[in-house]
Structure 1
Amino acid sequence: MSDFDTVIDRYLGVWNEANPVARRAAIDELFAENVRYVDPLAAVEGRAALDAVIGAARQQFAGLVFSSGGPVDAHHDQARFTWHLGRPGGEPLVVGFDVAERDADGRIFQVLGFIDRAPGR
């Protein structure tokens, strides 16, 4: 497992963290202070704003989990990876693709997200 595999596992873990205090602590450890997160549904900057996006997604998709959709492809300080959202052990309802970039301290400073498949899309 590469260093970026671990980072992306932690990233998905943040999205799955139900406890708001634990989630915010994990965000503070993994993401740069001024992290930029952009996907088709959100465009935010900063840890607090990212925490709010993740919290809203957890409410909207209660009972669903994010999981890896395959191997992480990384070089230098950037990685691209596919993720799934669905019921544990079930077929994913949503499939997405993100690109994450790390800063010199190893924290994620930018995530660019795309949705490849979703209901009604």
Structure 2
Amino acid sequence: MQEETSAQAAIDTFLSAFNASDDTYVTALLSQALTPDVTFWGPLGRGEGVEAVERFVLDIRRHPAGAGTMARCSPVDVPGEWARYQWSFTTPNGGPCLVGTDVVHLRRDRIDKIIVFAGDTAASS
């Protein structure tokens, strides 16, 4: 139960960085959720460190269709130190919506690995 609660807290804090009221809060939120040496595998490749994740988050926040909303749309599944969850990113006024699944590894209640699978897996099979 503690693993699930810690994983969900780290994941929800990570996702809240996408929805921060101002870009200046993004770094603080990511620093709470991620280890300094986090490894991030995203749609555009691999990065290391909080700064790499911050660049990704800021790019998403500056989506051409407007600032969107990131939401976790599934429970957090936590088998041990790994967790997965589904998310959706929706832009304003019926703009583009992106869905996906993240798999994260946790170390001492913080995320040290993030693997982003963007897109609907049901649609691609």
Both structures adopt the same fold (TM-score exceeding 0.5): yes
Q: Does the aligned pair in 1 maintain the 2:13–2:32 contact within 8 Å?
A: no
The one-character-per-residue Cα deviations of 1:61-110 (angstroms, maximum 9, x if unpaired) are 5331011121111121111100011147x79711110001111x211100
Look up the SS of the partner of 2:78 in the other structure.
Answer: strand
Name the TM-score, length of structure 2 as normaliser.
0.80
Name the CA distance, whole Å, in 2 between partners of 1:64 and 1:44.
23
Q: Given the alignment, which residue of 64, 67, 70 partners 1:63?
A: 67
**Equivalence map 1:52-91=2 (5 Å):** 52-60=55-63, 62-87=66-91
Counterpart position of 1:9: 12
Corresponding residue SS for 1:60: coil
The CA distance in 2 between the partners of 1:38 and 1:113, in whole Å, is 6
Percent of counterpart pairs with the same letter? 25
Letter aligned with residue 93 of structure 1:
C
Matched, 1:97 2:101: yes
Can you give the 5+ residue segments of structure 1 that lack an aligned partner in the other structure?
A: none
Q: Normalising by structure 1, what TM-score?
A: 0.83
Distance in 2 separating the partners of 1:100 and 1:91: 28
Aligned residues: 117
**Runs of at least 4 residues of structure 1 off by over 6 A?**
none
Indicate conservation of the 8 Å contact 2:11/2:33, yes or no. Answer: no
- Computed over aligned residues only, the root mean square deviation of the Cα atoms, in angstroms, reads 2.5
Look up the match of 1:110: 113
